[in-house]
Amino acid sequence: MGKNLVEKILSQHLVSGILEAGEEIGIRIDQTLTQDATGTLAYLQFEAMNVPKVKTELSVSYIDHNTIQIGFENADDHLYLQSVAQKYGIVFSRAGNGICHQVHLERFGKPGKTLIGSDSHTPTCGALSMIAIGAGGLDVAMAMAGSPFYLICPKVIKINLTGKLKPWVSAKDVILKVLEIFTTKGNVNTVFEYGGKGVAALTVPERATITNMGAECGVTTSIFPSDKMTRLFLRSQKRERDFIQLEADKNAKYDKVINIDLSKIEPLTAKPHSPDNISTVRKMKKITVNQVCLGSCTNSSYKDLVTVAKILKGKIVHPDVSFVLAPGSRQVLEELANKGYLADLIASGARIMENACGFCIGNSQSPPSAAVSLRTSNRNFPGRSGTMDADVYLVSPETAAAAVITGCFTDPRDLKMRYPKIVMPKKFLVDDSMILWPDKKRTIDVLRGPNIGVLPRCPELSDAIHGHVTIKVGDKITTDHIIPAGARMKYRSNIPKYSEFVFENVDATFAKRAMSLRQDGKQNIIVAGLSYGQGSSREHAALCPMYLGVRAVIAKSFERIHAANLINFGILPLTFLNENDYDRIDKEDELEISDIKRIIAGDGKFLMRDKTKGIAFYVTCELSARQKQIILAGGALNISNKYME
């Protein structure tokens, strides 16, 4: 039996375990990336490991998230990140150079390599046939220090693409169709491998849109073959030397095969408030639109923005619509400017934002109260836009452009114009002057402003947890619910301060109540439903609760990255043996488990006692042998030196 694409790359990087779905494996990591919202913590953790230089082939630190500088905090973080990069051998992409996923695709991604990043949309580089995985910052720090990256060997689902996209239908509609099929839950420890004759016509930027939003399905990563389109893209970036052909064997085995006929897909949208709440655009029936945001790491490539520029040429933004645009990189912006498309966009009334994440993470451009906002980004969780009562819809650039013109939800096929033809540049403008390579000759002092806090550690796991259910939440709780993005992100280097906002948008009293219990020597427990920890890779969603005294989360199920982050910071991720027991527990119930160390070392099956109600039920904690050591030690940092050997 031949190998699929995932098996080929993993087998070349395997350092421990066996390639059998469900088994824990360790793989060698070639490249890492961080961004400034997660990077400060990752590098504080790296410094704590006392490793003189990074040990990867390439590690890149991007400034693209916290670029709004109101107050000193973000600026302090950027100085810290730049000095750390110089000291430890890390490449530094300055603010203004672009969004990490777009820039990494353009300048650094290589077929057949492994990449982990402290951002959940790191799988974007699967468009270049990389095994590219989002992870918590501590896992990235450990990879930079030379440790393997550990994961559950995934199932591989082949998504077989046939046919060809029709005019006014784009890659965004393809991934929305995938989300309609797979939803945002139930896909943990799975990889989507794209293949079939339909792949050949998809450019690398189109593939990147699809792999980027595979993260919303909760998969480990998504990947395309490395073929003629890959070679053309790398040649256009003057990196053809990085090309290798890479594809699955014809007789490769998959756990499942799903067929999608591209010619049958029509313009789609993800309705509020989840990326899998899918409808056709036509069914939206001309809903009035107040705001259109074009860009983010999902749809900010040259192809995407030129398509919109051509649609809008000679037209003016509808008077009731605020239209903002954020190019994905400086390269994209320069190409738009040099070819006249930027002038066309400005003439249409577009507001040009930074080459940064901006509106996607709620860091700017919050819509009006109760507004309808159409966005080409990847997430529409409640409040993520910065406006709690706004309705955010995810759409393609074509659908976004149609709303800019008409002021309402409009199927772009109904525009009375010919679909624009886009010719990709044979050679992009390559200017890496905003990328700083470490100077080996300089001695660097790391700059630490007052926003750079002390890195807290979890104490060693006690043999009993006797705590209160400080909060009970439902299904599909995202890391945005747990710890907010947007304006609060400037505190991400200061855990005591950032912890004040845990569950702010769910229960504003949580942080104070949890800290009060902790100060009284008591412990906190979170109870949750299905798919707890969706969304961002932000490890603050584990670290801040740990700081507040949370010692266990009991859920019906967890998402991959968040479960790993909980373990890394010494919090027990417990699942109900019987999901119906979730309904028997209430907020403020007093829960207790004992003999923890023996049971963790054994089968991980605990009897949880609800002392308030006088009942008991079973929960399980499924951990690998390595994870058992981490949780017993109170977190990975407490034993990090062992993994550096």
pLDDT digits (tens, 9 = 90+) for 234-248: 999 999 999 999 999
Check whether the bond before 481 is cis (ω within 30° of 0): no
Residue 366: pLDDT band with limits 50, 70, 90? confident
pLDDT (0 to 100) of residue 357 = 87
Is the pLDDT assigned to residue 329 strictly greater than 70? yes
Instruction: Quote the CA–CA distance of 303 and 307 in Å, as a whole number.
Output: 6
Which among 196, 252, 269, 255 is positioned nearest to 220, based on CA atoms? 255
> 640: pLDDT confidence band, cut at 50, 70 and 90?
low
Any residues with CB less than 8 A from the CB of 441 and at least 6 apart, and which? Answer: none
pLDDT tens digit sequence for 185-211: 889 999 999 999 999 999 999 999 999
Over residues 543-600, the pLDDT tens digits come to 999 999 999 999 999 999 999 999 999 999 999 999 999 999 999 999 999 999 999 9
- Taking only the tens place, the pLDDT of each residue in 285-304 is 899 999 999 999 999 999 99
* Of 35-39, 66-70, 539-543, the least confident: 66-70
pLDDT at 61 over 70: yes
What's the confidence (pLDDT) of residue 644? 44
Partners of 258 in the β-ladder: 159
The per-residue pLDDT for 643 is 43
Q: Coil, strand or helix: which one is 255?
A: coil
pLDDT of residue 383 exceeding 80 = yes
| Residue 429 CA from chain centroid, whole number | 28
What pLDDT is recorded for position 213? Answer: 96
Mean pLDDT of 165-172: 98
Counting Cβ atoms within 10 Å, is residue 98 exposed (0-12), middle (13-18) or buried (19+)?
buried
Confidence at residue 645, expressed as pLDDT on a 0 to 100 scale: 41
* DSSP letters spanning 303-346: HHHHHHHHHHTT----TT-EEEEE-SBHHHHHHHHHTTHHHHHH
Backbone angles phi, psi at 506, to 5 degrees: -110, -50
Strand, helix or coil for residue 178: helix
The pLDDT value recorded for residue 641 is 52
Question: What would the mean pLDDT of 614-629 be, rounded to a whole number?
Answer: 95
Choose among 236, 235, 206, 210: nearest CA to 222.
210
Q: What is the mean pLDDT of the chain?
A: 94
**How many contiguous H segments (helices) and E segments (strands) does the chain have?**
20, 27
* Ordered structural domains, the chain, with CATH: 5-264 (3.30.499.10), 268-412 (3.30.499.10), 464-643 (3.20.19.10)
Q: Per mean pLDDT, which range of 10-19, 398-407, 530-539 is the poorest?
A: 530-539
Phi, psi of 51 (to 5 degrees): -100, 130
The CA angle 379-174-423, to the nearest 5 degrees, is 105
